[in-house]
Structure 1
């Protein structure tokens, strides 16, 4: 689904600034927005639903944005990934400040205050992703926020190039299921590119730990449909002891079994978003490794706030 907003839509003369603040806050995060265009507010925002992600193209004059403490903690944890196309952006959060130029990108966390500024005539892509989707792939993403990432080499280049490809296909009227699949691929590539950042590994010990966790995650994803998947089978399949497996997860603050359950639910949520009319909730539940349909529905509803059947109906209606 494609939505387009401009500063002249739904706003009477001399009310463009208030309208544009509302559009930006609803499409991205709730923000305090100031304009540095000497009173002339102009811009356009296009938004596409790539559930579980959303992608926006923001073309605007200069902006200075602040996410205040009262704006935080009122919604599901989300991440914004900002990719400048024209003009630099400056971003501060968690005591870190970075400047991001075209060809680079920066990550913003919804639950902490931040400041964001861009100069005149700025254009940027903004990918909005639930924290749960990234956390299921690389763990807690907080350490990756407010850092500059290079989109010109390595996996960052692959992510940046695929983002450009997705933006071209967003205009072609593809089905919701295909757009959702592209959104999932974007999250996969984003997660891989974040893992390549030097700050992802902070010591030799953490490098060994992270290498084990990457191998464990790959094993679990390959066997996610197996309802018998357990810490014991994972440890055996990865050639480590169950004790060491639990020790690896100690610093994450999440037990292995809870992490597996979270992966299953996230997999199911993404699969429901791109399901076609021939796919049932039961099929997706079993593919995610849930042998009991009722328990799956209960766990899914508790995590996401709605039943899986509701999400499936909404996806089919798009």
Structure 2
């Protein structure tokens, strides 16, 4: 069950206090300063559980979130947030590091320390919030990484992953596999931070420990690529195909069959969506990595007992 606050449902004179209270509940105690009180406060906040982590989404008219050193010291359960800006430029300052965060960029905020974050006009951001004790890295490593995220080869992978979590937050939070997804997301975050901190002992150990999670995330982001296969996956992670197969075998699954299963699940979900009705079965198949519609239909029927066309007409699970 998610937590949602929308000021559209709140009388104007009560909105400032409501947003402040909701922000403390959703993220961390901080001062909430609205850019234009006379112009009206428009804010929507959402929090969706994802195992040991959660997804926090904020959309608002101009806003500033200012966390003092005293507020940070009083927080008994600090978290680290990996946030993707999705509207308006974000402005962030923490521990002497200032940056402008354009839409689509990833930012790490250490909520155990003071910070100043804002945007002007109507903007928004969504983040994965993880308790620091779940990250498994020293705080100084996390803080070093926060200033160097873009130097990591994992930056694009994790940015896309967090953006997808934010986009589908409600559905993913309700999924039976939400706990597992939360664990995998924490491992990806840990890998990114260890890599970006450039501390060799931590990076080497963490990257080895999180390799399977990174492989799974990479595959899910490239299911529509017709050339996705063992060779491309191995090359993307700088390992041999033999090592890739050994990792998958050790985890108890067949790489090729898992990829086919993920593609079929993606196609099945798309076929149910009203906004995909204009696409032919062949178009949907190709979007999910099947170049041969006949092969796709056969695989779909073997997996679900109905053809893609029958599934689309009935709209059943």
TM-score range, shorter chain: 0.5 to 0.7
**TM-score, with normalisation over the residues of structure 1?**
0.58
1:224-274 alpha-carbon deviations (Å, 9 max, x no partner): xxxxxxxxxxxxxxxxxxxxxxxxxxxxxxxxxxxxxxxxxxxxxxxxxxx
Matched residue SS, 2:136: helix
Report the counterpart of residue 68 of structure 2 in structure 1.
68
Cα gap change, 1:35/1:29 in structure 2, threshold over 3 Å: closer, same or farther?
A: same
Q: Distance in 2 between matches of 1:215 and 1:62?
A: 38
Cα gap change, 1:138/1:215 in structure 2, threshold over 3 Å: closer, same or farther?
A: farther
Give the C-alpha shift of residue 132 in structure 1. 1.1
Q: Distance in 2 between matches of 1:55 and 1:8?
A: 22
Name whichever of 26-35 and 157-166 sits farther off.
157-166
Report the counterpart of residue 54 of structure 1 in structure 2.
54
Say whether 1:132 aligns with 2:133. yes
Report the counterpart of residue 96 of structure 1 in structure 2.
97
Q: Distance in 1 between matches of 2:184 and 2:172?
A: 18
1:172-218 alpha-carbon deviations (Å, 9 max, x no partner): 37646411211222212222222332xx22xxxx53x4466448867
Report the counterpart of residue 6 of structure 1 in structure 2.
6
CA RMSD of superposed structures (Å):
3.0
Matched residue SS, 1:29: coil
Contact residue 60 and residue 122 of structure 1 kept, 8 A: yes
Give the C-alpha shift of residue 49 in structure 1. 0.4
Matched residue SS, 2:154: helix
Give the C-alpha shift of residue 140 in structure 1. 4.3
Report the counterpart of residue 86 of structure 1 in structure 2.
87
Report the counterpart of residue 230 of structure 2 in structure 1.
none
Q: Which runs of 5+ in 1 are unaligned?
A: 220-318
Report the counterpart of residue 192 of structure 1 in structure 2.
191
Report the counterpart of residue 33 of structure 2 in structure 1.
34
Contact residue 131 and residue 141 of structure 1 kept, 8 A: no
Report the counterpart of residue 264 of structure 2 in structure 1.
none
Cα gap change, 1:36/1:192 in structure 2, threshold over 3 Å: closer, same or farther?
A: same
Report the counterpart of residue 159 of structure 1 in structure 2.
158
Give the C-alpha shift of residue 85 in structure 1. 0.5
Matched residue SS, 1:72: helix
Q: Distance in 1 between matches of 2:110 and 2:203?
A: 25
Report the counterpart of residue 257 of structure 2 in structure 1.
none
Give the C-alpha shift of residue 160 in structure 1. 2.1
Report the counterpart of residue 303 of structure 1 in structure 2.
none
Give the C-alpha shift of residue 118 in structure 1. 1.0
Contact residue 84 and residue 105 of structure 1 kept, 8 A: yes
Contact residue 104 and residue 149 of structure 1 kept, 8 A: no
Q: Which runs of 5+ in 2 are unaligned?
A: 212-317
Give the C-alpha shift of residue 137 in structure 1. 9.5
Give the C-alpha shift of residue 56 in structure 1. 1.6
Contact residue 28 and residue 80 of structure 1 kept, 8 A: no
Q: Distance in 1 between matches of 2:139 and 2:95?
A: 20
Contact residue 45 and residue 56 of structure 1 kept, 8 A: yes
Say whether 1:114 aligns with 2:121. no
1:104-253 mapped onto 2 (5 Å cutoff): 104-135=105-136, 140-145=141-146, 147=147, 149-150=149-150, 154-172=153-171, 175=174, 177-197=176-196, 200-201=197-198, 207=200, 209-210=201-202, 213-214=205-206
How many residues in Structure 1 have an aligned counterpart in Structure 2?
210
